[in-house]
Homo-oligomer: A and B are copies of this chain.
Amino acid sequence: MQIHTPVLIEAIEARSSVNFFQPGQTLSDRAILRLVDLATRAPSAFNLQNWRFVAVRSPEQKAKLRALASGQAKVEDAAVTFILCGQHPRQGSLPSLLAPSVEAGYMPAALAADLSAAADAFYGGNVQLSRDEAIRSASLAGAFLLIAAEAHGLGACPMVGFDADGVAEAFGLGEDEVPVMLVAVGPAADGNWPQKPRLAPTSIAKLV
């Protein structure tokens, strides 16, 4: 893994949120699904994978989404703008999600059953905890989506400035789904800002 160090660190240090995209660019369905594939390599609690991606890439749907996102041009200019949805963990959903790990031979079936029961007990009936998990999982996947876009030479920009209720209704999200962020992805135009300065690590970290 050590040999990755310079490239991975450079990728983290060079990343910035892209505000200007080359309009009129497109990504193939295959390329879009590959970005989703890589985004879902993010971890999720219990491996719940409680996320869903609406990839908005047709002119009509992009216009609809832009109107719900304060008219931000990047929603339309980007090749695709993802509505990254987190889902409230569903009771009883884990056995089928862990089955491939059991079948692959490294997760004992008894452990999968224990984890499933633990997850159901952890979230059961707790709406706040369930919403927290929806936001956490979708955000983790969103971060991986940013890195995946970068890996393909594409710009990306996460956005929270949108009408969540309007988006949920217009794009048919389920009642247990939260639109956690929009992520615009596509070839970047010129004139974007570099990564904005961050607070010094010593000012936000406490070592104990």
Q: Interface of A with B (CB < 8 Å)?
A: 1-2, 4-5, 7-15, 17, 29, 32-34, 36-38, 40-43, 45, 47, 49, 51-58, 61, 97-98, 100-101, 104, 106-107, 118, 122, 131-133, 135-136, 139-140, 142-144, 146-148, 150-153, 158, 160-161, 171, 180-181, 193-199, 201-202, 204-208
Contacts and interface: CB of A to CB of B under 8 A. Distances in A.
A57 B206 CA distance: 10
A42 to B, nearest CB: 6
A182 to B, nearest CB: 12
Given A12-B151, A52-B206, 8 more contacts: A12-B38, A40-B201, A47-B196, A53-B201, A55-B207, A97-B199, A132-B180, A171-B208
A139 B13 CA distance: 18
Contacts of A208: 54-58, 61, 171
B198 A151 contact: no
Nearest to A52: B204
Contact of A9 (B38, B47, B171): B38
Contacts of A193: 101, 106-107
Most buried by B among A1, A37, A58, A194: A1
B158 A204 contact: no
A40 B147 contact: no
16 contacts: A8-B8, A33-B205, A36-B201, A37-B201, A43-B158, A47-B196, A51-B204, A52-B205, A53-B205, A55-B206, A101-B196, A107-B196, A122-B161, A131-B132, A140-B140, A171-B208
Contacts of A10: 4
A157 B4 CA distance: 19
A194 B47 CA distance: 13
Most buried by B among A2, A10, A43, A49: A43
Contacts of A171: 208
